[in-house]
Amino acid sequence: MTPRSITVVGASADRSKFGNKCVRAYHKAGWQVFPVHPSATEIEELPVSASVRDLPDEALERVSLYLSANAAMGVLEDLAGRPVGELWLNPGADDARVVARARSLGMPVVCACSIVDIGVMPSDLDHGPALPS
């Protein structure tokens, strides 16, 4: 079964960043989107969690990381033992250390662009106004 919820770790309010483009692309495609950012409270009119530790298990069908390797390593520890359906390591987040650690924790790792996976080219996402709720 295809996942219908996604957690975007490294979500951003900056519409030029991939962490924002991912939120918009999945939201527009009808997915339930769970943005994660340590200090934001709302991104694209969606409530934001400060950590993956704050999310319910159903939010973890697909987890997409937009983080540096060092930041990603900490998130992996927070996800350890949780029911992660798919862990997408986007270009730049797919450091060999992150891949190896995620696999050692038993997470199903996909090293690819999670936006492209749903048929959207990130370059096609403009920097216009926020998506309506």
Assess if residue 32 is contained within a domain: yes
Q: Does residue 132 lie within any of the structural domains?
A: no
89 contacts 69 by C-beta, under 8 angstroms: no
% of the chain with per-residue pLDDT over 90: 88
CA–CA separation, 133 and 131 (whole Å): 6
Residue 112 confidence (pLDDT): 97
Range of the domain at 107: 10-124
Residue 1 inside a domain? The answer is no
Q: Considering the entire predicted model, what is its pTM?
A: 0.91
Confidence of residue 33 (pLDDT cuts 50, 70, 90): very high
In a domain, 129, yes or no: no
| Number of domains into which the chain is organized | 1
Higher pLDDT, 127 or 28: 28
Domain CATH for 88:
3.40.50.720
Please compute the mean of the pLDDT values over residues 4-18 and round it to a whole number.
96
| 5: in domain | no
- Identity (one letter) of the amino acid at 55? L
Task: Give the contacts of 81 (CB within 8 A, at least 6 positions apart).
Answer: 105
